[in-house]
Amino acid sequence: MTTLEMAAGEPGPWRTARGSRRFFLIMALAIAATVVFGFTLNASRFNFDVSTLPPLVHLHAGLFAAWIVFFVLQSALVVSGSVALHRRLGGLGAGLAVLMVITGIAVTIACVKRGATPPFFPPNVFLMVDILGVLCFFGLTAAAVALRRSPEWHRRLMLCGTIMVMSPAWGRILPMPLLGPWGGWAVFGAMMAYLLAGVVYDLVTRRRIHPAYFWGGGAMFLTQILIGPVAFSPPIMAWTASLLPS
């Protein structure tokens, strides 16, 4: 904001509605870049034939990749002024989110059955990291859809929900085997940096934090602290044991 703008009481470019829309597009692009980097890094480390993976894994990957593309596209449509098209595509996004939950849980269970879980997570923890994470994503996204007529709530909750599906990417970027029991918290901290960017933007441009971040961030934190207790609860331990290959 220039001195002239401050004296005249006029908003700087990032304080306007258009500036806000641009910020959320930048956040969507940052998330997309992180996901691409994480999976590209993983592919460069290991030489494996993706064609040998079960079809369900390919479907799961395609749906989650489609969500990232969809999230960027929707943000870009709002910036370009194509709000009507953005709204028409909303139903497609809602359906995609449902499919992501179904396939996300199905793939997680299938991985435990095949013994294809990351070595740095016990199978019961892996189950809950993925299942609780995708359920949190869906809850935040559903809330964003319900509040679609309140753009400030909608875009912040959508951001929070999409941050939740970044954990596989960060799990491939961070040196998880070296982090030991703190690996899960390291991934969570990396994801929360994106939410913090939104909080800082609010403080700079609005002088206050929008309550959507308290609800979204609270749901994300609650999900994280529930993983351990739920994963090591007797029902989940017994379920995990029944899934493991003999």
102-152 confidence digits (pLDDT tens): 999 999 999 999 998 888 899 999 999 999 999 999 999 999 999 999 999
Tokens of 234: 């007797």
pLDDT of the residue at 3: 43
Q: pTM of the entire structure?
A: 0.89
Q: Are 32 and 67 in contact (CB under 8 A)?
A: no
Q: Can you tell me the distance from the alpha carbon of 177 to that of 171, in angstroms, rounded to the nearest whole number?
A: 10
* Cα 88 to Cα 187: distance, rounded to the nearest angstrom: 34
Q: How far apart are the first and last CA of the chain?
A: 64
Question: What's the rounded Cα separation, in Å, for the pair 231 and 125?
Answer: 5
The SS3 of residue 186 is helix
Domain ranges of the chain: 17-28+51-243
Tell me the per-residue pLDDT of 27-82, one tens digit each, with 9 for 90 and over. 999 999 999 999 998 877 765 667 778 899 999 999 999 999 999 999 999 999 99
DSSP secondary structure, 136-184, as one string: HHHHHHHHHHHTTTSHHHHHHHHHHHHHHTTHHHHHHHS-HHHHGGGHH
